Chain A
Amino acid sequence: MTTVTAETTFDRPSTHPVPWKPMVRVTWLQHRTELIGLLVLAVGCALAMILSQESTHSAYASYVANGCVANPLHGRCGTIANSVGNDTDSFSAVVIALHVLPVIIGLFIGAPLLAREIESGTFRFTWTQEVGRTRFVLTTFVMLAAVVTAVACLLGLLLGWYGHPFEVVGVESQWQSGLFDTTVFMLGAWTLVALALGSFLGALIGRTVAAMAATTVVVGGLLIVSFLDMVHGLLGVGAIATSKITPNGIGIGALNDRDYVSGPPPGSWLVRGWITGPNGHVLSTTAANNVLGRAYDATEKNFANNAVPRWLSIHHFTYWVSYQPASRFWVFQGVAGVILIGLASLLVFATIRALARRAAH
């Protein structure tokens, strides 16, 4: 039988919460394998970009030296531009790899973050320490988010540097779906969403492998939908319409292409093209194509002399294009980024709720 003689210390005052700085080391100890893996991957991607850019560099330097930036139609500019454009295969490969980066982060860092704690039972240790469950989860998440987002932003920055020559010579555009999602800002935001989504699914499912599979499907699915549709949908918002154009080619309906028509300022993103009739009404796609067919027949597709636009004008038709000017690019980046960061914040909130629900059920 035990006899207790010492006094208990119930009146010990409670002060401030456990500070977050010591949590840095806890996070490092718990997640160093994943973070080192991410670092190796990031260094690999960075080296791939730096080495690939080497071969583009000389052609691009020649392009700049020949004054092709100001006058792309001058002298040998077309030939030089083609040699720059020949390197887009490796650029595309890096862009695809960077699209996979958020999936990898969600898969290997986000999903196991809580699922592994729940599955292995270690949550019974960590969540009963003085730091408390919510503070532990939030602090760990914020620290991991800071690291993975910083890595993603650096890679996005490097991709911007790598892709700049292609942008200048006009073979790639930062507006297009693949590049829009991999800028310094958007890659960081997508990574944050992937981490938050993985954490949420881990908290919800509570089993590591299942959470990893679900994260891959959902994050991958979101990125594909963004690539195929969401970016174009976003860029259609508030597009400017103009008929003061000299088209080198005419497109009807969704264009989603860089500025192959003159009229919109350089660097603009074309959203839609349409034709209005003599009464100012917009022609249906079928009717517009019929009109274009007649114009092509009459002018033998002679765009060089503006024959097609002149034919349209003579017959009281007007070709219109809606576009986003280059000056809006970072505004759209900001809007898309804020949407993604908002989504990540909601997912973090939902994760905390999911853990509370897990305790209640």
Chain B
Amino acid sequence: MNIIETTGLEKRYRNTWALRDCTLAVPAGHVIALVGPNGAGKTTLLHCAVGLITPTSGYMTVLGDLAPGSLAALERIAFVAQDAPLHQHLSVRAMLIVARNLNRRFDMTLAERRLDELEIPADHKVGKLSGGQQAQLALALALARHPDLLVLDEPLARLDPLARHDFMALVLTAVTEHGLSVLFSSHVVSELERVADYLILLAHGQLQMAGEIDGLLAQHAVLNGPADDVGRVQDQLPVVHAQVAGRRAQLLVRMSDVSEPPSGWECDDVALEELVLAYLRGPSASSLPGPIAIAANRASEVTR
């Protein structure tokens, strides 16, 4: 069962394409990091997933076979938007009541307990809370719905390092306790490996890379070797990023179908941050599951 599945998904705002030919399938049970530079289409993809915007073309389902934005999907997806937009003129308590009354399933006790733990006073106006507190409040409201999929748009952007840690700890606790899937977009590449186990990388509205982080790391390697031998390696392997310094070269390559590095080259593991940055620097490279991989993924689901 895929938590999100898209086929040829595209979204255009007037003359600008925010998403182009986006095909991916993300299995359930993952914490998925959606990464990309500004304007890459991250928010557009998330808004498509929660039904806030309608794709220009293509196909998307969530939580198996549900249409994004349908009542059945909204029942099981909680969304925390960028900057956690809540009703600023309401008190925290009123905000809890609003959230409870807009959902049939809302764990008021859980929400109140989380806010107590965070020392967010219930009688304060939402607008008087700090950015971090507002983000925590929005997350508490989302988690109190006990969603199957939690979608977070840049949840860490307004948080200081300590608040980031607390925020993601809360998310991961919920993942462990309730088994929900999490899809979050982020700029903070350095923290991805600690919290996410699945990566989607977008650049210029196009999917650059998607897959389980362990698998992606295993498929890539850093090769160190003579600069005048780069051409030979490029003939054998897809080079994501090349850096030449004097007579030495360092290549980040995809080694999906190759077990041994080319002769004369030393092979090192690649770090996630290094991998992400390499793909962001070379947006023409791609390491996608593709339609065939999606089909295989489905087949494995069926036979499991």
Contact = CB atoms under 8 A, between A and B. Distances in A.
A127 B47 CA distance: 11
Contact of A130 (B87, B145, B213): B145
A4 B53 contact: no
A130 B72 CA distance: 8
A359 B52 contact: yes
Given A122-B87, A127-B52, A4 B179 contact: yes
A133 B54 CA distance: 13
Contacts of A9: 148, 179
A5 B102 CA distance: 30
Interface in A337-361: 356, 359-361
Interface stretch (A21-29, A100-108, A197-205): A21-29
Interface stretch (A12-20, A47-55, A80-88, A155-163): A12-20
Contacts of A360: 53-54, 56
Residue of B75, B83, B181, B195 ringed by the most chain A CB atoms within 10 A? B75
A304 interface: no
A2 B50 CA distance: 24
B270 to A, nearest CB: 15
B101 interface: yes
B28 interface: yes
Interface in A114-144: 120-133, 135-136
B85 A125 contact: yes
Interface in B81-127: 81, 83, 85-90, 94, 97-105
A138 to B, nearest CB: 13
Contacts of B175: 2, 4, 6
A7 interface: yes
A73 interface: no
Indicate the member of A18, A121, A129 with the most B CB atoms within 10 Å: A129
A8 interface: yes
A166 B155 CA distance: 65
Size bracket of the B interface? 35 or more
A58 interface: no
B138 A12 contact: no
Interface in A47-79: none
A361 B55 CA distance: 9
A3 interface: yes
A126 B79 CA distance: 10
B50 A7 contact: no
Contacts of A17: 71
Contacts of A136: 102
Nearest to B94: A29
B21 interface: no
List the 10 closest A-B pairs by CB distance, nearest first.
Answer: A6-B179, A22-B101, A121-B85, A124-B81, A129-B102, A14-B72, A130-B103, A128-B79, A360-B54, A4-B29
9 contacts: A4-B179, A5-B176, A8-B29, A9-B148, A9-B179, A30-B98, A128-B51, A130-B102, A130-B103
